Structure 1
Amino acid sequence: MALRAVEALPPDFASAARDVLLHVVDLAPDDMLDDMQIDDPYTLTGLYDGIPMTEKSVFDQPTRPDTVWIFRRAILDEWIERGDVTLGDLVTHVVVHEFAHHFGWSDDDIAAIDEWWT
């Protein structure tokens, strides 16, 4: 589902998204949760880890690839709790949200065009 969401991005965005590693795991690793000061791994459904395109420079030497993390069990937990969206829609929203950060959009920018996040 996550890969389909990336493939469904508009062509200009899909092209840029191909340079990002898409990593789907059950839950966020403990070190990631610690860094973000999150106690409950079920509250984090996705994360962009990298330098947004709007902040990159040709002089930057990347130390690791930009990565979008998708946390499967956290998404399933939210889907069950919500009960008002399809699993595919929820996965798509999480994936698009995280890739939007790669494109340089803030949470406020995303919320301005997607009422889901308000």
Structure 2
Amino acid sequence: MADTNNLDWARLSAPSLTDMEALADAAFASLPEKFRRLCEGVVFRVEDFPDEETLEAMACETEFDLLGLFRGRGLIEGEHLSETGAEPNMVWLYRRPILDFWSESEDTLGDVVAHVLIHEIGHHFGLSDADMEQIESDAGARREG
């Protein structure tokens, strides 16, 4: 855990989209190599909030209800981009809802971003919650080590 006595909280600003992308990149880099190789071709995006269409499709009550989203054809569905006009598989992380969730959490922001990223990628693979928890645990050990 960071030494909060040395942080000048009065001078800190909220992480930008670029900062969140860097956290997501670091979280992705901490994932097992086999897992990362399987993600080839998946596009990662960080946005402040989901768009209105997504909020409606996911039956969200507020724009803060969705931390991330996988959209595309997962590996269990036979992912193939050879179809004409097929969109690439994408994972979105939503900065403001993640920051809101983090403010109520005892986890680090990096851990929250990693959690959301792993769970959204997990949808691509059709993994169980137990599988994702194990990957998250392994990735956390890599980030700390």
> Does residue 12 of structure 1 match 2:34?
yes
Shift of 1:60: 6.0
| Residue number in structure 1 paired with 2:51 | 29
Deviations 1:12-71 (A, max 9, x none): 111122310001000111111011111211111001001110111559626100000000
Identity of aligned residues (%): 35
**Larger C-alpha radius of gyration, 1 or 2?**
2
On the 8 A contact 1:8/1:14 being kept in 2, the answer is no
SS in structure 2 at match of 1:18 = coil
Q: CA deviation at 1:93?
A: 0.4
Select 1:68's aligned residue among 77, 81, 91: 91
CA distance 1:16–1:45, change in 2 (3 Å):
same
Structure 1 runs of 4+ with >6 Å offset: none
- Say if 2:68 is the partner of 1:49: no
Matched residue, 1:102:
124
Unaligned runs of 5+ in 2: 1-22, 137-145
Are 1:93 and 2:115 counterparts?
yes
Distance 2:131 2:38 in 1: 22
Give TM-score scaled by structure 2 length.
Answer: 0.70
When normalised by structure 1's length, the TM-score is 0.85
* CA RMSD, Structure 1 to Structure 2 (Å): 2.1
Which residue does the alignment assign to 2:16?
none
- Secondary structure class of the residue paired with 2:104: helix
Q: Is residue 81–residue 88 contact of structure 2 (8 Å, CA) maintained in 1? A: no
2:69–2:91 contact (8 Å) kept in structure 1? yes
Separation of aligned partners in 1, 2:102 and 2:81? 42
| Gap regions ≥5 residues in structure 1 | none
Separation of aligned partners in 2, 1:9 and 1:60: 27
